[in-house]
A = this chain, B = another copy of it.
Amino acid sequence: MAIPHARSGQVIDVRPHGATFTDERSVALFKTEDLEVIRLVLPAGRALPPHAVAGEITIQCIEGRIDVTIGGESNHLAAGQLIYLARDVLHGVAALEDASVLVTIALRR
Protein backbone atom coordinates (compact mmCIF):
# COMPACT_ATOMS: atom_id res chain seq x y z
CA MET A 1 0.00 0.00 0.00
CA ALA A 2 1.47 3.36 -0.99
CA ILE A 3 1.75 5.70 1.93
CA PRO A 4 0.91 9.29 1.10
CA HIS A 5 3.13 12.08 2.23
CA ALA A 6 1.22 14.53 4.34
CA ARG A 7 0.81 18.10 3.30
CA SER A 8 1.37 20.26 6.37
CA GLY A 9 -2.00 21.67 7.33
CA GLN A 10 -3.88 18.71 5.91
CA VAL A 11 -7.14 17.92 7.74
CA ILE A 12 -7.74 14.18 8.16
CA ASP A 13 -10.97 12.55 9.23
CA VAL A 14 -10.70 9.90 11.94
CA ARG A 15 -14.31 9.86 13.07
CA PRO A 16 -15.89 6.46 13.73
CA HIS A 17 -16.96 4.75 10.52
CA GLY A 18 -20.22 3.69 12.18
CA ALA A 19 -22.74 2.40 9.64
CA THR A 20 -20.15 2.25 6.83
CA PHE A 21 -17.77 0.15 8.95
CA THR A 22 -17.97 -3.01 6.86
CA ASP A 23 -17.00 -1.12 3.69
CA GLU A 24 -13.88 0.38 5.21
CA ARG A 25 -10.36 -0.93 5.35
CA SER A 26 -7.10 -0.08 7.07
CA VAL A 27 -5.23 2.86 5.57
CA ALA A 28 -1.90 4.54 6.11
CA LEU A 29 -3.05 8.13 6.63
CA PHE A 30 0.36 9.67 6.17
CA LYS A 31 4.07 9.23 6.69
CA THR A 32 6.53 12.04 7.14
CA GLU A 33 10.12 12.26 8.30
CA ASP A 34 9.24 11.77 11.97
CA LEU A 35 5.66 10.49 12.12
CA GLU A 36 3.54 7.77 10.60
CA VAL A 37 -0.19 7.61 11.26
CA ILE A 38 -2.25 4.55 10.33
CA ARG A 39 -5.93 3.80 10.76
CA LEU A 40 -6.66 0.14 11.33
CA VAL A 41 -10.12 -1.26 10.69
CA LEU A 42 -10.58 -4.49 12.63
CA PRO A 43 -13.85 -6.42 12.44
CA ALA A 44 -14.82 -8.17 15.68
CA GLY A 45 -12.59 -11.18 16.24
CA ARG A 46 -9.83 -10.00 13.90
CA ALA A 47 -6.39 -9.94 15.51
CA LEU A 48 -2.93 -8.76 14.61
CA PRO A 49 -0.46 -11.34 15.89
CA PRO A 50 2.24 -10.19 18.30
CA HIS A 51 4.70 -7.86 16.58
CA ALA A 52 7.05 -5.06 17.50
CA VAL A 53 7.57 -1.59 16.03
CA ALA A 54 10.96 0.10 15.78
CA GLY A 55 9.60 3.32 17.24
CA GLU A 56 7.52 4.60 20.13
CA ILE A 57 3.81 4.38 19.39
CA THR A 58 0.39 5.30 20.62
CA ILE A 59 -2.60 3.09 19.85
CA GLN A 60 -5.88 4.98 20.14
CA CYS A 61 -9.24 3.23 19.97
CA ILE A 62 -11.54 5.36 17.78
CA GLU A 63 -14.58 3.08 17.86
CA GLY A 64 -15.48 -0.31 19.27
CA ARG A 65 -13.24 -2.08 21.77
CA ILE A 66 -9.84 -3.67 21.42
CA ASP A 67 -7.49 -5.75 23.49
CA VAL A 68 -3.80 -4.84 23.37
CA THR A 69 -1.77 -7.71 24.77
CA ILE A 70 1.70 -7.04 26.08
CA GLY A 71 3.74 -9.85 27.55
CA GLY A 72 0.60 -11.94 27.95
CA GLU A 73 -1.22 -9.14 29.77
CA SER A 74 -4.52 -7.87 28.36
CA ASN A 75 -5.28 -4.16 28.12
CA HIS A 76 -8.84 -3.39 27.07
CA LEU A 77 -9.34 -0.08 25.30
CA ALA A 78 -12.74 1.45 24.55
CA ALA A 79 -13.34 4.26 22.08
CA GLY A 80 -11.51 7.32 23.36
CA GLN A 81 -8.72 5.50 25.13
CA LEU A 82 -5.11 5.23 24.04
CA ILE A 83 -2.07 3.30 25.11
CA TYR A 84 1.58 4.21 24.82
CA LEU A 85 4.15 1.56 23.89
CA ALA A 86 7.90 1.91 24.05
CA ARG A 87 10.05 1.03 21.07
CA ASP A 88 10.36 -2.66 20.17
CA VAL A 89 7.69 -3.84 22.62
CA LEU A 90 6.07 -7.04 21.41
CA HIS A 91 2.30 -6.56 21.34
CA GLY A 92 -0.83 -7.98 19.76
CA VAL A 93 -4.08 -6.19 18.95
CA ALA A 94 -7.45 -7.95 18.82
CA ALA A 95 -10.88 -6.48 18.12
CA LEU A 96 -13.38 -7.36 20.84
CA GLU A 97 -16.03 -5.55 18.77
CA ASP A 98 -15.87 -3.99 15.30
CA ALA A 99 -13.16 -1.44 15.97
CA SER A 100 -11.09 1.21 14.33
CA VAL A 101 -7.80 2.25 15.74
CA LEU A 102 -5.42 5.15 15.20
CA VAL A 103 -1.76 4.15 15.42
CA THR A 104 0.83 6.95 15.65
CA ILE A 105 4.47 5.95 15.26
CA ALA A 106 7.46 8.13 16.10
CA LEU A 107 9.82 7.02 13.36
CA ARG A 108 13.32 6.19 14.36
CA ARG A 109 15.84 8.33 12.52
Residues of A within 8 A of B (CB): 6-16, 30, 32-35, 37, 55-56, 58, 60, 62, 68, 70, 73, 75, 77-87, 89, 104, 106-109
Q: What would be 20 A-B contacts, judged by CB atoms less than 8 Å apart?
A: A6-B84, A8-B70, A8-B89, A9-B75, A9-B84, A9-B85, A11-B77, A11-B82, A11-B83, A12-B82, A12-B83, A13-B80, A14-B60, A15-B78, A15-B81, A16-B80, A32-B56, A35-B56, A35-B104, A37-B58
Q: B106, A35: Cβ atoms under 8 Å?
A: yes
CA distance A50 to B85 in the complex (A): 31
Measured in the bound complex, the distance between the Cα atoms of B35 and A30 in whole Å is 17
Bound-state Cα–Cα, A78 to B77, Å: 23
Number of copies: 2
Assembly CA distance A70 to B8 (angstroms):
9
Given the complex, which residues of B lie within 8 Å of A89, measured CB to CB?
A: 8-9
B-side contacts of A32, CB under 8 Å: 56, 84, 86
Could you tell me the distance between the alpha carbons of A87 and B8 in the complex, rounded to whole angstroms? Answer: 9
